[in-house]
Amino acid sequence: MARELFGTDGVRGTANQHPMTAEMALRIGAAVGRYFRRDTSVAHRVVIGKDTRLSGYMFENALTAGLTSTGMNVLLLGPVPTPAVGLLTTSMRADLGIMISASHNPAEDNGIKFFGPDGFKLSDEAEAEIEALIAEGVSPVDAGAIGRARRIDDGLFRYIERVKGTFPYGQRLDGIKVVIDCANGAAYKAAPEVLWELGAEVIPVGVSPDGVNINANCGSTKPQRAAEAVVAHGADVGICLDGDADRVLILDAQGQVADGDQIMALLAARWAEEDRLRHGTLVATVMSNLGLERFMAARGLALHRTGVGDRYVVAAMREHGFNLGGEQSGHIVMTDHATTGDGLMAGLQVLAEMGRTGKPASELVQQFEAVPQLLKNVRYGVGQTPLETSGVQNAIAASEAQLAGQGRLLIRKSGTEPLIRVMAECENSQTLEEAVDRVVDAVEAAV
């Protein structure tokens, strides 16, 4: 069955435009409620979290209406990080978890992410079945079987305690000054609280959400503000989360940025030393730098690559029994502790290494020399298929031939935005730029 509504991470788009309308959210709620409420003889429940976007109120109400119309009982968590929904779905014995968020996207966008009863995101097959139900339409239950909805006050507290529990027992953050940038998003309460309770001196950035400033000039996609705060306050380290706190970037004391590849390299090497890295393997996507692959190989460790999207990273981890994976963008997945990427939890692991080793962040999060990598995006319109044109295909073939034996080229559609992403790696900067620009120019001509 085809998946047209669902991208790499649920349903996403501009609020009040298809598919992110209140009407569609109601239909999605009814369909997913019917999908998970297969046994009508017992009570079923769903937990719903959201980030700080203004449109979150609208989608929360619409999803609740659709879900209760099929007999699901709804527990509303309010603003919480995405990983908190995965955690609370299992700990509260819910049949389904829903997160209303467009992650790192601007405030005018929103999205709907789904977690199964095991706390993991749904498979492609499950999403295809739900799409079929949306298309067919779902009959509501009888009036006496309509579900109930209520707010849960302690969901954020449960998450905070769970995250703190992943920090090494007996270790503290006393004496460490941390800038934490919450992107005016879902972790604006939880992240500073966790760091302070563990003993850190906390300098918060991006903790004043107003519904329209999520990810605006802050957070993991725009770390400049946090970098300035690190330098200005003489902080030891900076932690930049995105709008729903499932991504993280680390800043050293000079404000230099370390991406997810460097974080994964640090954790993989440490876990391998402690014999904690299952099967000696790290899972990453095709976007991760070739330098990370070389770093792992030099230590006798393996890098297992997947398609882009943390769902596919987690799927590979579960299939093969791996316990560490992530994306260059900053999704860090540690299945010993969580069911999805958790930026705050990953940030704590870096802080734990700083405390254990006494080394500065600048040394810890620069584990390998990255191969020069260039990524450019081209926006395309509705209904356009630029990758299928002969001009683009010829440009791709020419760039692949130019990079043969020197690097690699990766072309893909974004799963969350109408973008063609053109990425290449090569030691020779001129060759790198020529290979990428050739394809970008062809795509721009096609659109």
pLDDT digits (tens, 9 = 90+) for 332-342: 999 999 999 99
Catalytic (active site) residue 399: no
**Whether residue 157 has pLDDT greater than 90:** yes
Residue 3 predicted with pLDDT over 90: no
**Residue 316 neighbours by CB distance under 10 Å:** 19
**For the segment 279-328, what is each residue's pLDDT rounded down to a tens digit?**
999 999 999 999 999 999 999 999 999 998 899 999 999 999 999 999 99
Query: Which pLDDT does position 2 carry in this prediction?
Result: 56
Nearest to 102 by CA among 190, 31, 11: 11
pLDDT > 70: what percent of the chain? 99
Catalytic residue among 55, 69, 103, 220: 103
Q: Using CA atoms of 418, 5, 313, 109 in order, give the dihedral in degrees to the nearest 10.
A: 50
Mean pLDDT of the chain: 95
pLDDT band at residue 41 under the 50/70/90 scheme: low
186 alpha-carbon distance from chain centroid: 13
Structural domains of the chain sorted by starting position, each given as residue range(s) with its CATH number in brackets: 11-153 (3.40.120.10), 159-255 (3.40.120.10), 260-364 (3.40.120.10), 373-446 (3.30.310.50)
Within 8 A by CB and 6+ apart from 19, the residues are 5, 11, 13
So what's the pLDDT on residue 416? Answer: 72
